A and B are shown apart, each in its own frame.
Chain A
Amino acid sequence: MAGTLALAEPFKVGVCYDLSKAYTFATPQVSQAAMDVAKLINMQGGIGGEPVEVIVRDHGNEPQRGIECYSRLSREGVFVFDTLSTPVSLAILPRAMEDGRILMQSLVGRGDAVDGTVFEWVYPVGPTYWGQMANDIGYIKQLHDDDLSDVKIGYIYFDYPFGQEPIEILKTLSQKEGFELLLYPVPLPGSDQSGAWSKMRRDNPDHVISWMLGGAHVVASKEMQRNRIPMDKYISVNWLNEVDIANIGAEAATGLKRGTNVVGGQDVPLRLEIINKLYDEGEGSGPLVNTQDVYYNTGLAMYSIIFEAARRAADLEGMPITAESYKKGLESLENYDANGLMAPITVTAEDHGGGGKTRIEMWDGETWVPQTDWIAAYGEVVWDVVRESSSKYGE
């Protein structure tokens, strides 16, 4: 019955985002990218002859309102949801699993959801924090000619589940590779890091991996200058954007690195096409400045995947697209990189994460320079942790 109802309906994505509270450092850019991708697709004839639609709603990072958004849009026939908020994603997950609706949760939510054998309806396409951390270590290993035995790696992180999550992987890898691991917890929101960095000066680690966001990067850079720790030791999680670079100072940030699953910068083919066809015609979904931000590229990547899966679902199973056929569409993605926009992903029924590839980029004072290919290191170690955690779901 749901199929016949959906016949005249466009393919819709429920974008329940936090546009007013904690995640506003990224949600405006990502949701703008979502709307732009949808517009571009509709200009080119839509999917399966029907226009596509993104429905953006604010949930203020409150689980209760996220559930409300999910329930409301579900009734309107939406079966693909994206929350870009860990608390809301966690709150929706049990319902999506129960109702058989797709929950996309790139970069947020529980990382063990990449295990498709357990989390049938959840797709954290892109790197998990575990995988991203393993890739960071893989990069450091490349730098030290495959020998990490004399290397000291410092880890500075928000003392909160977001920052604590990768510690398990770090400890496992430290045992495996023999590097010394030093932990520097920082209280939220990261405005006070002086203790951590002066300890860091004494310990003098060879590399510092940072799991912080927004203004905390700026604080870190100041502390690094104060403690004379060179900037090129700093390897950030993917949450570091052009605004942070501008706040640190383009010159001062030279040498800084970040892990990423999308190509940074403005010369990405898809972005150029959107600028050309939408923004130059005054049809963009928001201010142009939002598109000059790596989180915009992140959004382009997330929604290219979401719509590409819909296109494949339409090709494979025909219209209308259902949750079942959409799932098949997602799982048929193989080495898909959205025309050079991001790390190639291959989603399978077992691996809902798409392979978890990232690369390290360095800020050279003007632009981001890739330091590695797209890599996915220590796959088995990461999957051991994933399975260990996912096996506890539903107990």
Chain B
Amino acid sequence: MFYRLSGVYHSSLISDSRMFKVPADRNLAVFLLLIGLAAPFILPSLYLNSYILPWLIWTAAALGLNLVTGWAGQLHLGYAAVMAVGAYSAIHTVRLGVPWEIALIIGGLAASVIGSLFAFAALRVKGLYLALTTLAMQFVMDWVLTHSPTISGGSHSSLQAPTLALLGQQITSDAGYYYVALGWCVLVTIFMLNLKRTGLGRALVAVREKDFAAAILGVNSFYYKILAFAASSFIAGVSGALLVATFYFLAAPEQFSVNVSIQVLAMVIVGGLGSIIGSYFGVALILLVPGLVNGLVVTASEELGMQVNVETLAHIPNAVYGALIVIILMIEPLGLGKLYGNIRDYLMTWPFDQLRK
């Protein structure tokens, strides 16, 4: 009924390798994109700029991490550090008088170079050892940022981003920032959707499942791992730069600290490893739910006239949010993306499959 299908059957290789195998999925994506384009006219600026905009940029960043962790299967605990490289190099480049378009690419490339350089050393080890090595990168970056005023912008460690300007147009409006974020997020999403269909994507999945089995099949696992790190670092770098350019307006070390790295990893895991739609859900849960639950708890306590200590009030949302993560992962260990997939699969042929039973 919803998908108007009795099942997914392919009769040619071309139909099997389509980006959207089910027309309803494509329609839904187009519909969501249209809503996304219309959002500045529908939503009040508070929601647009305090919730949707960071959500989109973090989703782009999480998709980048999903590339290396979800697709290539390499645990990465220093993702925020890579974002920081991108952010700081882009801002410094702009401050030198280079246009933003080029600076964003330079930021991405710088992150890519540092990210893959580190991966060169780190990829000599696997699994948890790799995770710890990437964590080390995070600490190295923290140290560099807090100890080099030239990079971090003086003794206060805050570096102001010049006004964002793209294609000769200064961007200062809420809607402008939003469209930049939306554009980047859509771009990364399209890249990730296509990645599934390419030889590169399949090679990464082969490396994830068993790297020496992949090697036997002729897949150079080290090369593909580096490639995954480089591509994901590029996405991280540009996302970091855009995060500062459109949301924070200045870069500070705390915005890219170790807990941010862990948060992004949580977004990817809660969303679902290797799931694109899951990244959207995961980011929403990790980034937005604490604030929303906080608002709900405060409103509820005011409505009910409860005399709750502000400190207790601040901790209740944390408990709710923690419980939410645990419950979701207990219901579906493969994350929110899989949860969505289950519902979709159930509805795919509904109600016709009921007749068969």
Q: Closest Cβ of chain B: how far from A385's Cβ, in Å?
A: 9
Which one, B253, B287, B313, contacts A58 given CB within 8 A? B313
Q: A161 touching B157 by the CB < 8 A rule?
A: yes
A87 touches B252 (CB 8 A): yes
Judge whether A68 and B51 touch: CB under 8 Å: yes
Q: How far is the CB of A10 from chain B (nearest CB, A)?
A: 15
A112 at the interface (CB under 8 A from B): yes
Q: Is A102 an interface residue (CB 8 A)?
A: no
Residue from A19, A64, A168 in contact with B54 in the complex, judged by beta carbons closer than 8 Å: A64
Mask for A137-167, Cβ within 8 A of B = 1, else 0?
0000000000000000000000111001101
A68 touches B250 (CB 8 A): no
Residues of the B chain whose Cβ atoms lie less than 8 Å from the Cβ of A63: 248, 252, 254-255
CB pair B156–A110 under 8 Å, yes or no, is yes
Is residue A199 within 8 Å, beta carbon to beta carbon, of the partner chain? no
> Which chain B residue lies CB-closest to A67?
B50
- In terms of DSSP, what is the predominant structure of the interface of chain A? helix
User: Is A67 touching B146 in the complex (CB atoms < 8 A)?
Assistant: no
Point out the residues of chain B lying under 8 angstroms from A65, CB to CB. 290-291, 294
Say yes or no: B287 contacts A64, CB within 8 Å: yes
Set of chain B residues within 8 Å of A159, measured between Cβ atoms: 146-147
Do the beta carbons of A56 and B255 come within 8 Å of each other? no
> Contacts A93-B250, A94-B250 known; A72 to B155 CB distance under 8 Å?
no
Report the bound CA distance from A64 to B294 in whole Å: 14
CB within 8 Å for A72 and B50 given contacts A19-B314, A20-B318: yes
Known: A28-B311, A395-B160. A91 touches B51 (CB 8 A): no
Bitwise, A15-50 to B at CB < 8 A (1) or not (0) is 000011000100110011001000000000000000
Quick check: is A344 within 8 A (CB to CB) of the other chain?
no
Structural contact, A392 and B294, CB atoms closer than 8 A: no
CB <8 Å contact, A393 and B160 = yes
Are A68 and B291 also in contact (CB < 8 A) when A20-B314, A20-B315, A161-B155 are?
yes
Q: In the assembled complex, which residues on chain B have CB atoms less than 8 Å from the CB atom of A110?
A: 156, 158
Bound complex: CA A27 to CA B311 (Å) = 9
CA gap between A91 and B155 in the complex, in Å: 16
Contact B46 A75 (CB under 8 A): yes
* Residue B249 interfacial (CB < 8 Å): yes
Instruction: Considering the complex, give the chain A residue whose CB is closest to the CB of B315.
Output: A20
Query: B255 — nearest CB in chain A belongs to which residue?
Result: A63
Q: How far is the CA of A219 from the CA of B95 in the complex (A)?
A: 43
What band does the interface of chain B fall in when counting residues whose beta carbon is under 8 Å from A?
35 or more
B46 & A72 in contact (Cβ 8 Å cutoff): yes
B49 at the interface (CB under 8 A from A): yes
Contacts known (A19-B310, A64-B287, A87-B254); A58 close to B294, Cβ less than 8 A: yes
Interface 0/1 of B17-58, CB less than 8 Å to A? 000000000000000000000000000101001110010000
Residue of B nearest to A161 (CB): B157
Contact A165 B156 (CB under 8 A): yes
B318 cross-chain contacts in A, Cβ below 8 A = 20, 60
Chain B residues near A276 (CB-CB < 8 A): none
Assess the B309–A164 pair: CB atoms within 8 A: no
- List residues of chain B with CB within 8 A of the CB of A32: 310
- Report yes or no: A164 in contact with B146, Cβ–Cβ below 8 A: yes
Among B95, B255, B294, the residue within 8 A (CB) of A395 is B95
Nearest CB of B to A388, in Å:
9
Asked whether A161 and B156 contact (CB < 8 A) given A56-B310, A64-B287, the answer is yes
For B120-156 the 0/1 string (1 means CB < 8 A from A) is: 0000000000000000000000000011000011111
A226 at the interface (CB under 8 A from B): no
Q: What chain B residues lie within 8 Å of A395 (beta carbons)? A: 95, 160
User: Which of A35, A94, A389 meets B249, CB within 8 Å?
Assistant: A94
> Given A65-B291, A67-B247, A161-B253: A111 and B310 within 8 A (CB)?
no
Nearest 9 A-B pairs (CB), nearest first? A58-B314, A19-B314, A87-B254, A94-B249, A110-B156, A161-B157, A68-B50, A71-B50, A20-B314
Can you list 10 A-B pairs with a CB-CB distance of less than 8 A? A28-B311, A58-B310, A58-B317, A71-B46, A71-B50, A90-B250, A161-B156, A389-B156, A392-B153, A395-B160
User: 17 more A-B contacts (CB under 8 A) besides A65-B290, A160-B146, A389-B154?
Assistant: A20-B318, A28-B311, A32-B310, A35-B310, A56-B310, A63-B254, A64-B54, A64-B247, A65-B291, A87-B254, A87-B255, A90-B254, A161-B146, A161-B157, A168-B155, A393-B160, A395-B95
